Chain A
Amino acid sequence: NAGVTQTPKFRVLKTGQSMTLLCAQDMNHEYMYWYRQDPGMGLRLIHYSVGEGTTAKGEVPDGYNVSRLKKQNFLLGLESAAPSQTSVYFCASGRGAWKTQYFGPGTRLLVL
């Protein structure tokens, strides 16, 4: 099993550009999450999904959109990138309450 994979690993964007980060999991998990990690800030939840076709906002959702068209995939979109969105983005998946969240390797995004 590959677990949780993220594409791309690294990306540089100019302010105002758009992009989509892809997360895929092969563990048949219902729940998927997108976090951002910034120095000294820990991991902050952007959006999450409790099943195919459903999404919900987390702690820091502004400037991001998500879609979960297939159970195994969770996409994070930036419509108009801003320097404040420079971060490392982690996707995770899990089986829900009281269960382990499995994290991907991360995507490092630099917005100039």
Chain B
Amino acid sequence: QQQVKQSPQSLIVQKGGISIINCAYENTAFDYFPWYQQFPGKGPALLIAIRPDVSEKKEGRFTISFNKSAKQFSLHIMDSQPGDSATYFCAASNNSGAGSYQLTFGKGTKLSVIP
């Protein structure tokens, strides 16, 4: 069964600090790894995504680090702000064969950034 394991379940970070959320996967056929951000009462929205041909992708304060051999990837939020307080989901998909175009999500991390 395809699985994406996400940790921690919740995270409290002080304003200006670094938030780190980790994910691990089992299916070596996964070839797309997005992160989604969800605010209370809203649907998830794509934050940043990476494909396994690169080890890191940065967009503003958000960085994905990808370790193909360890089958792990992580989200780093630099200079965390109270407005970053949300639930973050990692996800993975394989885009060929059975199950194409399906995203498998982690269980989410609730991030709270305190002033």
B61 interface residue (CB < 8 Å to A): no
Query: Do residues A103 and B103 form an inter-chain contact, with CB atoms below 8 A?
Result: no
A contact set with B: CB distance below 8 Å: 4, 31, 33, 40-45, 48, 50, 58-59, 90, 92, 94, 96-98, 100-106
A98 to B93, CA, bound (A): 8
Secondary structure at the B interface, as helix, strand, loop or mixed, is: loop
B31 surroundings in chain A (CB, below 8 A):
98
The bracket for how many chain B residues form the interface is 20 to 34
Query: Do residues A97 and B32 form an inter-chain contact, with CB atoms below 8 A?
Result: yes
Candidates A40, A41, A45, A106; contact of B102 at CB < 8 Å = A45
The 5 closest A-B pairs by CB, nearest first: A103-B43, A97-B95, A42-B107, A42-B105, A43-B105
B51 surroundings in chain A (CB, below 8 A):
98
Q: Mark B78-115, 1 if CB is under 8 A from A, else 0.
A: 00000000000100010110001111111110000000
B9 surroundings in chain A (CB, below 8 A):
40
B12 interface residue (CB < 8 Å to A): no
**Complex: chain B residue closest to A6, CB-CB:** B43
